[in-house]
Amino acid sequence: MCHKFISIIDQKRPVRILATFLKKSSIPHALLFTGIEGVGKKEAAITFAMACNCMVEKAERLKKFKNNYRSENDLLAAVSPCGSCRSCRKIDSGNHPDIIEIKPSGPFIKIDQIRDFCDILAMKPYEARIRVVIISDAHAMNPAAGNALLKMLEEPPDSTILILTTYQTSDLLPTIVSRCRHIRFNPITRESIKTLLIENEKLDPDDAFIIAAMAKGSISKAFAMSKSNWMNRRNWLINAGGLDQPESLSSKPSGMLLSFAEELSKKKDLLSDSLETIKSWLRDLVIFKFCPEKMINKDLTDKIQYASQKVCLSSLLSKIEAIETAQKDIKSNANLRLTLETMMLRIAGTQEKGNLY
């Protein structure tokens, strides 16, 4: 993988901040990277660790530009790791003893994991100039682990940088957040994701556009959708759920609706994206009435036109609301099967909000 700051997509501000730290040799002892999954937080952390320990001296790289940068890209090139020295290669391959990653063991990061790395930090780095500890998905720390980390942050060890990654600052203890330099990573633009899908996955531009829109700014989600042939999944969701003819859903047998809900519940790992995909279809039926050029599922324009003309706006909005209610209930750990059954009955218009059946 090319670990250069300039190759980190759509993260101009975060990269500029990291480059400035390196240029000035003034690096906070703890950094907090926030943003949705799949926007480059991990790549930026590894690149930063490599740059901190690159064996091609930074002074030599900076001298190339004599501190007179013609553009921001010159600065990024100057502070980026070389990628080929022994230190860079070991970090890139995950074999450097002083670059440590901690991630959830099961659903949580446990106190024993934090204690173990605190014991390591009590010793000097084996070979790195600056040891880097990356705590991925820091929101997964249980309370005991969070408090153990906080104690360590209060007395940070020498020659060590901690990089925590999470979705948003509210996922962590405020006392941990206050001891870190916060850097926010942005969702990736649809155009950038579309280009990556076309270049790397050889997708048809129309399919790439649709997946890029459904990925909601996450490169990793877009690639996972591409590899799982999500377009076929989308077509099944629309047709099996009777959503290709939403005006006649109320006349469908309730058994069909409940069966579809059961199928959705069987694939929990796909459920979140499945519900978003159904919403994108219903939103396209709304959007077609006003701004058809802004639809997501453009390859289904004929179907969208037909379905949109057959159903009124208020009905579509109530169907979208039914899905959003189900999403909130699922986040609150409501019974999954019952929640999805209720959602489908509400989408069909045979179930009033507030009543289960």
Residue 354: band (very low, low, confident or very high) from pLDDT cuts 50, 70, 90: very low
Q: Which residues, listed in sequence order, are joined to residue 134 by a DSSP beta bridge?
A: 101, 163
Give me the helices (H) in 138-266, please.
Answer: 143-154, 174-177, 190-201, 205-214, 219-227, 230-240, 254-266
d(CA 85, CA 92): 11
Alpha-carbon distance values, 299 to 6, 95, 308, 325 (Å): 34, 46, 15, 28
Q: What is the mean pLDDT of residues 5-23?
A: 93
Query: What class does CATH assign to 5-184?
Result: alpha beta
- Examine domains 5-184 and 228-348 and report if their fold is the same: no
Which residues are CB-neighbours of 93 under 8 A, at least 6 positions away? Answer: none
pLDDT in tens, 265-304: 999 999 999 999 999 999 999 999 999 999 999 999 999 9
d(CA 246, CA 316): 8
Instruction: Look up the CATH number of domain 228-348.
Output: 1.20.272
Residue 1: band (very low, low, confident or very high) from pLDDT cuts 50, 70, 90: low
pLDDT in tens, 36-72: 999 999 999 999 999 999 988 656 655 655 555 567 7
Residue 336 burial by Cβ neighbours in a 10 Å radius (0-12, 13-18, 19+): middle
d(CA 78, CA 244): 54
pLDDT reading at 104 higher than 60: yes
Give residue 156's pLDDT.
Answer: 85
Q: Which residues, listed in sequence order, are joined to residue 137 by a DSSP beta bridge?
A: none
Domain residue limits, the chain: 5-184, 228-348
Mean pLDDT of all residues in the chain? 91
pLDDT in tens, 130-170: 999 999 999 999 999 999 999 889 888 889 999 999 999 99
Q: What is the mean pLDDT of residues 311-331?
A: 96
